[in-house]
Amino acid sequence: MTKTLAFVLYPGITPLDLVGPLQVLSALAQIDPTFEVAVVGQNLVPLGTDTPLKLVPSHTFDQVTEPFALIVPGGTEPTLAALANEPLLSWIRKAAQTADVVGSVCTGSLILGAAGLLDGRQATTHWGFRDLLAKFGATPTAERWVESGPLLTAAGVSAGIDMALHLVERLAGEQTARTVQLFIEYDPQPPLGGIDWSSADLDSFKLHARAMLASALADHPALLARLTT
C-alpha cells in the first residue's frame, strides 16, 4: 500500500519550511514508489506566503484523511494566527491519530501544540519562539531536529531539510538517505561559516515575537493570554 507523506499548507507560510523537506521526500518517492507526497490544504486555491511566491495544494483535507506522515511548516505572524485556525487544527488532530510520523518545521511545531499534540513531548522550533513550546506542555529542546515518539520537529527553516533526510534514513535506510542527499546536492557550505549563536539577541527578538502574537491573535484573547502570561 502506498504511504502518503502529507505537507500541510495554510496562508502565509515560509516557503522553504515546506519546499525544502518536500524536495527531499519527493526524491524518496522517486526512488521508492511505495511512498507518495501530497500538499494538503483546506481547498485548492493559491495561497500567499511570506515571499512574493504563492503555493497551491495538490489535495484538500477531505482527500487525504489518513496520511502515513504529516509535516506542518511554519512562518511568522500568519503562523501565529493559524494557532486559532480550527479547520486546520481539526484536520491535523484527526490525521495524527493514525499517522506514523507527525512532524513540523520551524514554528509549525506551535501549530502542533495548538492541536494538542505536544503535551509531554520534547520539541524544537525557531530559536526566537522556543520558549512558547512550554505553553503547550512540551519540553523545549535546542537541537537541529528532535524525535520524540511519533513526533519529529525541526528548528528554523533550513533545519527542515536535515529533519527530512533523517526521516528518509528512518524509512528507507542510510544508503537511500545518502543517495537523496547526493541527488539534491545538499552539502551546506555557507560563505560566512556557521551561525555564531552567542550573537543572537533573544531578549530583543522576544519583544518582536510578542508584538507579532498580539497582532495575530487580537481576536483570540484567551489564547493570546495563554501564550504571553
Rounded-to-integer distance, Cα 152 and Cα 159, Å = 12
DSSP-derived 3-state class of residue 88: helix
- For residues 137 and 113, is the Cβ–Cβ distance under 8 A? yes
Rg (CA), the chain: 17
Active-site annotation holds for 177: no
Task: Return the axis-axis angle of helices 159-172 and 174-183, rounded to nearest 10°.
Answer: 140
How far is C-alpha 52 from the geometric centre of its chain's CA atoms? 20
Which residue in 6, 81, 92, 106 is the catalytic one? 106
Across the chain, where does the E strand assignment appear? 3-8, 35-41, 47-48, 54-55, 59-60, 69-72, 101-105, 122-123, 139-140, 145-148, 151-154
Handedness of CA 102, 136, 19, 144 (dihedral sign): negative
Q: Which are the catalytic amino acids?
A: 106
